[in-house]
Chains A and B, each alone.
Chain A
Amino acid sequence: MRNKFGERVIETAIRFSGFAIIAFVILIFLFLLKDSLSLFRVYSFKRFILEQKWLPISEPPTFGIVPLITGSLLVTVGAIVICVPVGVATALYIAEIAPGYLKTILKSLIEVLASIPSVVLGFIGIIWLGPFVKNTFHLSTGMCGLTSVFLLAFMALPTIISISEDALVGVPRMYKEAAYGLGATHWQTLWRIVLPAASSGIMAAVMLGIGRVIGETMVVMMVTGNAPIMPKSILQPLRTLTATIAGEMGETVSGSDHYYALFAVGLILFIITFVLNFTAEVFLRKGRR
């Protein structure tokens, strides 16, 4: 009797927390939308999306999100280009090639990698990687997109490795055995059979990696230089969506247009990450079937 009552309480609590999470996501979205609309009442959405300048405290202010989106996209693409091949290769090694003891060591090391606080990486970026990039590419400053690309790639690696590794391990043994049975070499099996079979899981890993990179704030704020110009190349200073919110929220006048503009930036960021996670989920589901 007593046990049954307890079970029911726990069951309700679990159900409640499940629904609460859905409610939170919706509430956050509505909250961002409400404050963003306060901006769009005085500043047209079209200008916000198309204007190429971000001058929030000038008179009159210009809130153009184009340079910020470009900055975010540039570092994200850069980071993904570096970390996807490296990440998938590492996952392949851990899942298929590494001997048992090494597998355990590598997996726990990757978990350690994931737990390095981003502010520590940012500091390494300022002290060491920035000057290194500056000297290697003969730039006027090391505070540029490329420095953050390296750090962000490093940060997204654990996500990509562990999720791809799960996908690779999940490939049915029959597939591999069939390939070997037909006389395929180890490499041929990996490249032609295992990798394609795990592709939807790997795609999901990439999507989640992108989500991690585009939402990262501390590292980009510390090493990209944050100049709100249209970046022409990855070797220039640039400013991302996240760094703009974090950098400006602290000192802005609450209730001003600038304050609401930051919420609008948050809304755009929320939509981008939502779409990414949603796509990742779709890929994961496809893989499970």
Chain B
Amino acid sequence: MKKTVICLLLSIMALICLEGCKRSEKRDLQIKGSDTMVNAAQKVSEEFMKVNPDIFVAVTGGGSGVGIASLISGTCDIATASREMKPQEIESAKKRGGNPKEIIVAYDGIAVIVNLKNPVEQLTLDDLRRIFTGEAKNWKEFGGRDLPIVLLSREVSSGTHIYFKEEVIREGKKDSTAEFSPDALLLTSSQTIVEEVANNESAIGYFGMGYASDRTKTLKIGKDNTNFYSPDIQHVLNKEYPLSRPLYFYVNGEPAGILKQFIDFTLSPQGQQQFAETGFVPMESEIAK
């Protein structure tokens, strides 16, 4: 009995000691946030740890909102976000004495996909708006077969959903109150959209271009009826592809120490390479400008 108690106490003390040692010299980074960016951030951090084996970087998803909330409450060092921080969030960070700093780390093109059997190849932004608001209900109108259109969207609070709503449904107009058709299915992950589009001939969906694969057909998108572009690195970078957005890192105050080291690595060609490999658009040519 006594022995067990002593053993327990000793091990608890040892744990506390270990914890204390870790605190004294910070050698780990916590990154949290956007589900869109979680793979890319993971890849960057793995590369970073290869170069700096004594530093440990942990990457978790959860959503842009979760990342930003953790940054504000101080439980992570970097929040990844596929949307800008909202005024309300900046305010609540400042109230806690924080000073969030925004860093654009890469770009993401939004790909619009349909089933491989769907004969439609290209759509204009206005076509997309009419499809996703429910104005157009049949593929016949766009040169497809006589099938009802099944709309697939991401969850209402996902950064991708908000981007699509602002740029396509509301055509970038701030005063517009247009909404997604209430019939749109709200799916929880980009992977679910891939599965449903691959199985359903009448479905149309959208997601970050990194998820595009040969199991679905990626449509070419045009601002008007003249030129249509597919979402690839080149067309996103020269802004010809109309649906693209920046991806952000948020940190608290001016980065220093290993945090600065990590961010410098992310923006270096080697770090940017990881974004390119996970299907995002690196900023290299942006830096060059």
Contacts and interface: CB of A to CB of B under 8 A. Distances in A.
B190 to A, nearest CB: 13
Nearest to B87: A253
Contacts of A57: 156-157, 162
Contacts of A229: 182-183
B257 to A, nearest CB: 27
Interface string A38-80: 0000000000000001011111000000000000000000000
Contacts of A127: 195
A249 B188 CA distance: 12
Contacts of A253: 65, 68, 86, 88-89
B185 A141 contact: yes
9 contacts: A126-B195, A130-B199, A143-B185, A226-B185, A237-B185, A248-B157, A250-B65, A251-B63, A251-B64
Nearest to A126: B195
Interface in A214-238: 221-222, 225-229, 237
A247 B186 contact: yes
A226 B200 contact: no
Contacts of B183: 227, 229, 237
A225 B63 CA distance: 20
Contacts of B92: 254-255
Contacts, number: 106
B62 A141 contact: no
A250 B86 CA distance: 15
A140 B148 contact: yes
Interface residues of A, number: 39
Contacts of B147: 140
Contact of B155 (A53, A140, A247, A254): A247
Nearest to A226: B186
A76 to B, nearest CB: 20
Nearest to A221: B188
Interface string B103-117: 000000000000000
Interface in B55-104: 62-66, 68-69, 72, 86, 88-89, 92
Contacts of B188: 221-222, 226, 243, 246-247
Nearest to B158: A251
Interface residues of B, number: 39
Interface string A137-165: 00011110000000000000000000000
B150 interface: yes
Given A248-B157, A250-B157, A134 B162 contact: no
Nearest to A56: B156
Given A226-B188, A227-B183, A255-B88, A248 B155 contact: yes
A53 B196 CA distance: 25
B187 interface: yes
A249 B158 CA distance: 10
Contact of B202 (A126, A140, A251): A140
Contact of A251 (B66, B148, B186, B199): B66
Contacts of A58: 177, 179
Given A141-B185, A229-B182, A251 B192 contact: no
A143 B196 contact: yes
A213 B199 CA distance: 27
| 5 tightest Cβ-Cβ pairs between the two chains A and B | A250-B63, A251-B157, A225-B185, A251-B63, A226-B186
